[in-house]
Structure 1
Amino acid sequence: MIPPKPDARPEKVSLWRYLRLFRDDILSAQPAKLYRAWMAEFRTPFFRSYLVNDPALLKEVLKTRPESFPKSERIGEGLRPLLGRSVFLTNGETWKRQRRIIDPSFEGGRLRDTFPAMLAAGRAAADRLRPGVRDIEPETSHAAADVIFRTLFSIPIEHRIATETFDQFREHQRSQPILNLAAFVPLPRWMPRFHNRRTRATARAIRALITTLTQARSAEIAAGTAPDDLATKIMTTDDPVTGTPFTTDEMVDQVAIFFLAGHETSASGLAWALYLLAIHPETQGRCAAEARAFMANPEFANLSALRHTREVFRETLRLYPPVPMMVRETIQGEVFRNREVPKGAQVVLSPWHLHRHTRLWDNPDGFDPDRFATENGRTCLRDAYIPFSSGARVCPGAGFAMVEGPLLLATLLARWQFAPVPDETPVPVAHLTVRARRGIHLNITPRQDGAGGDAPGLR
């Protein structure tokens, strides 16, 4: 079965029709030819943009000369009320300092330390599920938010502030368009950014809640009573160059992006993975067998036993990359594929198109977790697979996500079976991440196959 993707728009539409489609949903606004193009140019009255699928150009932008292609200020405008000057939006020396402080907390040794909190969140998610037809997206959002709060601040999602933050974030999602007006029209710095009232209100509420948690943690650090979690590690790390740690305001910006990137993207990937497993029951059975064996002795050292489950999650991120497009900006004139690209142009790197490119991938729209063992799969994994970006600006939580995703799948699959619901095919759309237009509805039943009841160690 071929997993769903949006219908492409007609090849030719008017500029204003395109902009309306683009604002409503990036994915369905794109023509089919972008799945086979090495590069495409798009012109507006105010700027030019270039979608890049050529692996050589991708390497140039992301790895060889990343400082020549900083994050686009246009795209950042829509996210700034929530994210402030977080590492996701900054460039230059500010970004370098932020990464020097953040990166040590996500190194391999720290992943082992966060594993118990991830496992607890996964078990809690399995406990919350009930039999019947459910929209799985709210469930995966709940589970991923629980992981973030447990690993960052050592509190479960049931904690009052964690629950309030999660509820406010759901409201923020509903009010936040994928692009702000400033993405299309160059506005002077003094001019209002036209964020709607709900977007501003929910962003303020989320940041106030995060500030409360951060200030409380600062007091615990000063008193010597702080738990050894990610927040403590980051807040007690000095920049090795300047010798200074994050201020409280800076930490609020970073926690906001950890919550957005670490919760929203993981929730998206987990929901689509469960849908793909639901429509491929043989693969689900294979992962469930791994899950039950692992959950009999769920230790960090045994994660390698979830080999096929990890490949399923990797393939899910290929078909449904949570962040479908990333935008850089040229700081000088460039030449791409013998075409002049002016200073200030927007360079669009689209995992959504790159991961389904018909001239790169074998069976690009098909679900095949075993593809990465093939020569084509290994080549594309190196040259055409960027769910976490690549190069200097690769997501610092990429390793975290590749532990979290398979682990949460295992905790759920060990106890529950997932099946598709007739006439309920989810249609992917781009909001803050790739979600389904009307949710992902699955029929959930207790798992009875093979191993019978709960395996030892499940509780």
Structure 2
Amino acid sequence: MTLPPKPKSRAERVPFWRYARLFRQDILSAQPERLYRAWMAEYKTPFFRSFMTNDPALIRLLLKERPRDFPKSDRVGEGLRPLLGNSVFLTNGETWERQRRIIDPAFEGGRLRETFPAMCDAAAAAAERLAAHTGREVEIEAEASHAAADIIFRTLFSLPIDHEIAARTFDAFRTYQRTQPILNLAAFLPLPRWMPRGFRRGTTSSAEEIRRLIREITDKRQQEIDAGEAPDDLATKIMTTPDPKTGACFDVDEMVDQVAIFFLAGHETSASALSWALYLMALYPEWQDRVAAEAQALVPRDFGSLSKLRVTRDVFRETLRLYPAVPMRVREATRGEVFRNRRVPKGAQLVISPWHLHRHNRLWENPDGFDPDRWQTDNGKTCARDAYIPFSAGARVCPGAGFALLEGVLMLAMLLKDLRVELTSHPAPVPVAHLTVRSRDGIWLRVVRR
């Protein structure tokens, strides 16, 4: 049986300079094959020690049992701060807790139902755009990015993607996404604050442009709120929610940081997942037919009809297992520890890799295969609980996890209801990690009518 694409692993031992170069090119292929079966692995650099943690019990300790002892590493922020500023994705401690108290209410279950009509409008628009390519080959990542950006702008600011500012933000973000890896040079070297961070050409300028456009939208929304004329969307909800402890809301500067991560999480990660889901449907047409058949039961704008999309949901879950949008997360030890008989010093980097955890040879049956039926098996149910973290877990689980699942299932069903995607003569896509897991040379599919 054909296996989904997986990047080749590097040689077992390489010098640090070679590893740093490979890491900068692509995080996934820079790792050795043994990580797919290891419970814990150590990597020493001249400047710090790093530990990969694939043991479910250890991951549970880091994320759920003692999250305060293992805050998010600042090394992640070194690469993303030009865009994300002091957003909830990068902060720790009291600052992070305050941000979550304000943000979380916007993504509660009832609010998802309220955003559903806007999602449906964006999905219908995406299906119409894709149908315009009938009979032709199309680069599906670009289409998925367009669709995901449309959803986040409609649900966050009540703006369709063809709105001038939305379109310009989307264009700037496409430039940023292809130039900025998850971790940059400063993740390896303890550089002083005044020293350049080694950003690639276009990264800083595109980040500045994105933030300028976000500020323009946010300033306008604050004026609408002050005048009592703001639409009841996610931005308004977040900007008018006071911290229950202090009574203070986000000011515009703080909201710009949060909108940046909402756009990253709500657009970039969703586009990654949808792109790979569509490719897998072309690779496994029998599953595509099952999704399309199920999609016939979807009633436009009827939130309840989503419950009937069980196959589509399992296909999307399997896509996130094989291609988690954020392939690695980094925590830092605030004190010395002993894990699996290894001494972990204070300041050590603890890498949690959904990419390796989701394909771990000792945990999953047929770990590299595409099998949406696995979620109904005993092994699949066990792994879903212990070894499946596409949105992280514990206190720092993504607040928009439910939003993302709803969006992905809806979009996949709407796109395949009347259309079929097929493989082309282009080579199979090679997964690489930019901001998220994307294809090195894009994903080309042919679109035909059912």
Query: Which TM class, normalised by the smaller chain length?
Result: over 0.9
* Corresponding residue for residue 128 of structure 2: 127
- Matched residues in 1 for 2:62 and 2:182: separation? 23
* Corresponding residue for residue 178 of structure 2: 174
Map 1:101-180 to 2 at 5 A: 101-129=102-130, 130-131=133-134, 132-180=136-184
Matched AA of 1:28:
S
* Of 288, 306, 310, the match for 1:284: 288
Matched AA of 2:152:
I
Map 1:202-217 to 2 at 5 A: 202-217=206-221
* Of 330, 333, 345, the match for 2:333: 330
Indicate if the aligned counterparts of 2:426 and 2:444 stay in contact, CA closer than 8 A.
no
Does the alignment pair 1:226 with 2:227?
no
* Corresponding residue for residue 351 of structure 1: 354
Aligned residue pairs, count? 446
Map 1:346-385 to 2 at 5 A: 346-385=349-388
Superposed displacement of residue 420, structure 1? 1.1
Matched AA of 1:358:
N
Superposed displacement of residue 190, structure 1? 4.0
Map 1:188-207 to 2 at 5 A: 188-196=192-200, 198-207=202-211
* Corresponding residue for residue 320 of structure 1: 323
- Matched residues in 2 for 1:97 and 1:195: separation? 30
* Corresponding residue for residue 388 of structure 1: 391
TM-score by length of 1: 0.96
**SS of match in other structure, 2:202:** helix
- Matched residues in 1 for 2:422 and 2:283: separation? 7
* Corresponding residue for residue 433 of structure 1: 436
**SS of match in other structure, 1:148:** helix
Superposed displacement of residue 298, structure 1? 4.2
- Matched residues in 2 for 1:178 and 1:378: separation? 30
Does the alignment pair 1:273 with 2:274?
no
Q: Deviations over 1:378-397 (max 9, x none)?
A: 00000000000000000000
Q: CA RMSD in A?
A: 1.0
Does the alignment pair 1:308 with 2:311?
yes
Indicate if the aligned counterparts of 2:173 and 2:206 stay in contact, CA closer than 8 A.
yes
Does the alignment pair 1:417 with 2:420?
yes
Q: Deviations over 1:135-174 (max 9, x none)?
A: 1000000000000000000000000000000001111123
* Corresponding residue for residue 85 of structure 1: 86
- Matched residues in 1 for 2:369 and 2:179: separation? 33
**SS of match in other structure, 2:262:** helix
- Matched residues in 1 for 2:231 and 2:249: separation? 18
* Corresponding residue for residue 444 of structure 1: 447
Superposed displacement of residue 18, structure 1? 1.1
- Matched residues in 1 for 2:423 and 2:198: separation? 41
Matched AA of 1:20:
R
Deviates more, 1:394-403 or 1:178-187: 178-187
- Matched residues in 1 for 2:178 and 2:63: separation? 31
* Corresponding residue for residue 66 of structure 2: 65
Matched AA of 1:289:
A
Matched AA of 1:408:
M
**SS of match in other structure, 2:297:** helix
Superposed displacement of residue 424, structure 1? 2.2
Does the alignment pair 1:406 with 2:419?
no
Q: Deviations over 1:40-78 (max 9, x none)?
A: 000000000000000110000000000111011012111
Structure 1 unaligned regions, length at least 5: 448-459
* Of 240, 243, 248, the match for 2:247: 243
- Matched residues in 1 for 2:168 and 2:144: separation? 17
**Structure 1 residues 14 and 197: alpha-carbon distance in aligned structure 2, compared to 1, 3 A threshold:** closer
Indicate if the aligned counterparts of 1:134 and 1:444 stay in contact, CA closer than 8 A.
yes
Superposed displacement of residue 422, structure 1? 3.1
Superposed displacement of residue 322, structure 1? 0.4
Superposed displacement of residue 408, structure 1? 0.4
* Corresponding residue for residue 253 of structure 1: 257
Superposed displacement of residue 406, structure 1? 0.5
Superposed displacement of residue 197, structure 1? 5.2
TM-score by length of 2: 0.98
Superposed displacement of residue 181, structure 1? 1.9
Q: Deviations over 1:105-162 (max 9, x none)?
A: 0000000000001000000001111111111000000000000000000000000000
**SS of match in other structure, 1:429:** strand
- Matched residues in 2 for 1:364 and 1:317: separation? 13
* Corresponding residue for residue 34 of structure 2: 33
**SS of match in other structure, 2:168:** helix
* Corresponding residue for residue 455 of structure 1: none
Indicate if the aligned counterparts of 1:23 and 1:178 stay in contact, CA closer than 8 A.
no
- Matched residues in 2 for 1:242 and 1:181: separation? 38
- Matched residues in 2 for 1:364 and 1:177: separation? 26
Superposed displacement of residue 274, structure 1? 0.5
Q: Deviations over 1:263-308 (max 9, x none)?
A: 000000000001111111111101001112214x541011101111
* Corresponding residue for residue 297 of structure 2: 293
Indicate if the aligned counterparts of 2:155 and 2:233 stay in contact, CA closer than 8 A.
yes
* Corresponding residue for residue 24 of structure 1: 25
- Matched residues in 2 for 1:341 and 1:11: separation? 22
**Structure 1 residues 196 and 12: alpha-carbon distance in aligned structure 2, compared to 1, 3 A threshold:** closer
- Matched residues in 2 for 1:252 and 1:20: separation? 33
* Corresponding residue for residue 12 of structure 1: 13
Superposed displacement of residue 316, structure 1? 0.2
Q: Which runs of 4+ in 1 moved over 4 A?
A: none
- Matched residues in 2 for 1:306 and 1:419: separation? 22
Deviates more, 1:15-24 or 1:34-43: 15-24
Superposed displacement of residue 418, structure 1? 0.8
Indicate if the aligned counterparts of 2:179 and 2:434 stay in contact, CA closer than 8 A.
no
- Matched residues in 2 for 1:379 and 1:390: separation? 15
